[in-house]
Structure 1
Amino acid sequence: MAYLKELKVTFTRRRVDDDLLNKPVESPRQVYELFREMQDETKEKVIVLHLNPQLEVLSYEVAAIGTGRGALIEPVEIFRNAILARATTIIVVHNDPSGHCQPSAPDIETAERLHALGELHQLLLQDFIIIGDGEFYSFSEHSRF
């Protein structure tokens, strides 16, 4: 006898201020305000926001949790649930436990790779945001793509 696996997707809810969520994502600062508590994490965490064509947040997921030095970001992990959520755009957010928000060489390489793959699959990477101590770095604000 063979078995067929059923995919079950479950959602949990996270309370946020109404004025942060009930409108389109218009700026990296708005995303930073939603996830600023990540600056206190001792391990690197990668979050993916799934957006609709109007840039409203459909959902988000914790795509990876790493160590104090980094997290393994696999593109398939980034795009899989975004496709299931019927997102047209994504924003990737991660913290740097050291408190610095300037992108490292691996950050730049990962963001460029995700951007290229997003264009290929028509699931665009709108931004790649790094959260540090009381500050953030946005690839879109710095015209990285």
Structure 2
Amino acid sequence: MKVEESRIPIMSLPAEERPRERLSAFGPSTLSDKELLTIILGSGIKGNDVGHLASALLKLLDTSDLHCTVDQIRTIPGIGRAKAALVAAALEFSRRRFVPAKNKITSPADVLPLVRHLADRPQEQFLALSLNGAHEVIKLRIISVGLVNRTLVHPREIFAGCVKDRAAALICAHNHPSGNLQPSAEDHEVTRRLTASGEILGIPLIDHIIFTQEGYYSFLEHDGLGQ
């Protein structure tokens, strides 16, 4: 099922549906990542609405672990030095203020709050969560951004970060833009390969989770891993 991103300019929306007005009325937690970026960017340029700039910026941030220089941000057509500096400053401020909690994973449901903000992405995002011996999250990484209906991953890309983190275990997760929570044949194959690789490396895959805006599917809870 193909999911297309809306191309409606922000200013063409009714006032009550615009991100800034919705933030004022309902609070920032109700906005998507893209909507938050449209507020930070403020405006677009002729032929390139701020919503389109926000989509391009979001794609860059998703694949850069939120560490972008001003020059990297400026590679997006329509974002000049001033806007790029504003975005870079906002990212740095959030990093300085944010103290990550010890997110302990005791069930698949504990993973959902960490990845839910990616559920509305129009492409599949494949994530890896490296865990310590107490099953606390060391780091969450976006490994790859794929097509509308699938993403391509290789075990070496996933376990490289786990080895770097000295992780004791791994959880993988990816969104289904179609909204269908049922795993595909490719999802089963990826799970089998990662389970086998984890056994060899001594970093077991303890779950593979598919998530949408409506809920999640856990291989551990349903079929078991590698089945």
Q: TM-score range by the shorter chain?
A: 0.7 to 0.9
Q: Residues of 2 paired with 1:11 and 1:134: CA distance? A: 26
2:117 pairs, out of 14, 37, 44, with: 37
1:87 paired to 2:167 = yes
C-alpha RMSD of the superposition: 2.1
Q: Residues of 1 paired with 2:195 and 2:144: CA distance? A: 18
Q: Show the counterpart of 2:221.
A: 141
Q: Residues of 2 paired with 1:133 and 1:57: CA distance? A: 22
Describe how 1:61-100 pairs up with structure 2 within 5 A: 61-100=141-180
**Structure 1 residue matching 2:128: 3-state secondary structure:** strand
Describe how 1:1-145 pairs up with structure 2 within 5 A: 21-145=101-225
Q: Decide whether the 8 Å contact of 1:100 with 1:133 is kept in 2.
A: no
**Higher alpha-carbon Rg:** 2
Q: Decide whether the 8 Å contact of 1:28 with 1:129 is kept in 2.
A: yes
Superposed CA deviations along residues 73-107 of structure 1, whole A, max 9, x for unmatched, are: 11110100110011010100100110111100000
Inter-CA distance 104–67: structure 2 relative to 1 (3 Å threshold): same
TM-score, normalised via structure 2 length: 0.55
Inter-CA distance 137–17: structure 2 relative to 1 (3 Å threshold): farther
Inter-CA distance 11–123: structure 2 relative to 1 (3 Å threshold): farther
Bigger share in helix: 2
Aligned-residue sequence identity (percent) comes to 36
Inter-CA distance 133–16: structure 2 relative to 1 (3 Å threshold): farther
User: What stretches of structure 2 of length at least 5 have no aligned partner?
Assistant: 1-64, 68-94
Bigger relative contact order, structure 1 or 2 (CA pairs below 8 A, ≥6 apart): 1
**Structure 2 residue matching 1:26: 3-state secondary structure:** coil
Q: Residues of 1 paired with 2:201 and 2:177: CA distance? A: 31
Aligned residues: 133
